[in-house]
Amino acid sequence: MFIDAFWVIIVLISSSILSSVVFSLKMPDRLRTVLMAFFFVGVFIHEISHAIAAFLVGLKVNHFEVKWRSARTGNISPHGSVGTDVRRSFLQQLVVSIAPLLVSTWLFFLFLDLALKAQFADVINLLAGFACVSVLFSASPSYQDFVLIGRYFKKDVMYSLYQIGLISASLTIVLVLSWAYSPSFFNILYYILVGVFYYILKYSIKGVSALLQSKRSNWKQWQDLSILNRKTHKAIKARQLGVKEAHW
């Protein structure tokens, strides 16, 4: 997973540089149109990754669109947006925001492998090479994605830190369990196991917390009962009451 993280960072940096260079270049309108059409595939993958990630973490997708032109300027500028529930946690927002980066990184190396395979026809190698550049162009999360991560972290700092602790513990468990195992690049099993252990830890902590709170509550009730401080299980002698029969 450390190797995976290294390549994700490399793709993030490369994507940021590539998109900045492309948008800063002055070029003929016809060439710009061709390039934007070429990169449009990557933009669609970026937005669909947001939508799929939102669905997987339990958020309702209310809005999905990919546009060819800027509504403000009318210029060709492929972009899109995904609208989800406003109520969400820091971890949900983090997963949704970085999903395009993870998906695009995986697709980049998949297409790169296809592009370099000699047994395929040249046209397949060429298309795979174009796909590599297209997904790389839009792999990086947008500025708004990073802003939302920070916003939902600040919304409930203590719970956000709690989630970070849980995901860190889950990653550690998976790394320890897979220490002697060398899977193929970006093995999906890693990420499934991290999610599984995250929920195991989360609900284990919830269960223990509920149990402790329940015991504490019962103990308080017992202490409030003065009956516990009296010897009620011993019969009172009849002569103490002035009656012929013992009174319990």
48-74 confidence digits (pLDDT tens): 999 999 998 888 888 888 887 777 777
Going by pLDDT thresholds of 50, 70 and 90, the confidence category of residue 243 is very low
Residue 191 to residues 36, 139, 173: CA-CA distances in angstroms? 33, 19, 12
Q: Sign of torsion, CA 159 160 161 164?
A: positive
Whether residue 246 is contained in a domain is answered as no
As a whole number of angstroms, the longest Cα–Cα distance in the chain is 116
Which pLDDT score, from 0 to 100, does residue 181 have?
A: 62
- 94 vs 39, residue with greater confidence: 94
Q: Sign of torsion, CA 207 211 213 214?
A: positive
- Mean residue pLDDT across the chain: 79
Strand residue runs (E) in the chain: 61-69, 76-84
Give the residue-averaged pLDDT of 233-239: 46
Whether residue 77 is contained in a domain is answered as yes
Which pLDDT score, from 0 to 100, does residue 12 have?
A: 87
DSSP, collapsed to helix, strand or coil, labels residue 62 as strand
Residue 64 to residues 7, 38, 43, 60, 130: CA-CA distances in angstroms? 29, 21, 12, 11, 25
Q: What whole-number distance in Å separates Cα of residue 97 and Cα of residue 140?
A: 10
145-186 confidence digits (pLDDT tens): 899 999 999 998 999 999 999 999 998 888 888 776 655 545
For the entire predicted model, the pTM comes to 0.74
Whether residue 56 is contained in a domain is answered as yes
Whether residue 228 is contained in a domain is answered as no
Q: What's the one-letter identity of residue 111?
A: F
Whether residue 192 is contained in a domain is answered as no
Which pLDDT score, from 0 to 100, does residue 215 have?
A: 56
- 39 vs 236, residue with greater confidence: 39
Whether residue 26 is contained in a domain is answered as yes
**Domain boundaries, position 135:** 1-155
The total of structural domains in the chain comes to: 1
Nearest to 138 by CA among 50, 72, 75, 7: 50
Q: What whole-number distance in Å separates Cα of residue 58 and Cα of residue 63?
A: 15
Whether residue 203 is contained in a domain is answered as no
Which pLDDT score, from 0 to 100, does residue 182 have?
A: 56
Whether residue 101 is contained in a domain is answered as yes
